[in-house]
Amino acid sequence: MRKIVAAAIVLLATNQTGMAETCEETFARLLVHGNGEGPVRIHIVQEVKGGQTSTNEFLMVNDGHWMTRMIDPASGWYLTYDNVMYQSQDEGKSWTKVRDVDSAGDKAASIRNLEENATTTANAVCGEEDLDGAMHDTVEADFDTLQAFKTHNHYKYWVDRQSGLIVKATYETRGEGFESFTTQTPVPAPDLTLPVPD
């Protein structure tokens, strides 16, 4: 389940480019490249069928420096910095090393997986919807996750017409014995700073 959330987080935290596209191409681009590499704050609510609903916040300065703050239910925070993952049980007052990581390698692998999954895109629909009093472009489609934990997914994005950024995304995911519905609301955070463990 953590891998599903992590993959969902990565698609909102990488570069976004493109010219004139079909609806399916637009969806594939958003799936793989998301919103850009700048600092971001993402509010995440995940509802697991037959399980609990969790709320957390993902904060990223760059690919190698990010933090997950568990809000409800309250739990440990996780921070990655300089290819080391840390955990805090006191809301960031102190940090304990969990393990070494390969931030660049993990990102590259995630992009490769998303590109592979994007080849299964089907039933793409583009439209427009009012969101918080403003019209936004919408892009949604089905696709399959082809890696170890195989799932069938329906993702939908709301894209701001002025900035071209995703401002809301929903993810319906179904796998063997697992179903979830996740809502993400990303906000650019150019002034974001995160802890730097000693």
Sheet containing 96-100: give its strands across: 96-100, 84-88, 77-81, 65-72, 53-62, 40-48, 178-188, 166-175, 151-160, 134-145, 122-131
pLDDT for the residue numbered 12: 52
Bond into 73 cis (ω within 30): yes
Chosen CATH of 2-188 out of 1.10.1200, 2.50.20, 3.40.50, 2.40.50: 2.50.20
In this prediction, what percent of the chain has a pLDDT beyond 70? 90
Beta-carbon contacts of 65 under 8 Å, excluding residues fewer than 6 positions away, are 80, 81, 82, 194
Enumerate residue ranges in the chain where pLDDT < 50.
1-8, 10-11, 13-18
pTM: 0.88
Which pLDDT score is estimated for 37? 82
* Spatial separation of the C-alpha atoms in residues 188 and 40, rounded to whole Å: 4
DSSP codes joined into one string, 115-176: HHHHTT-EEEEEEEEEETTEEEEEEEEEEEE-SSS-EEEEEEEEEETTT--EEEEEEEEEET
Sequence spans of domains, the chain:
2-188
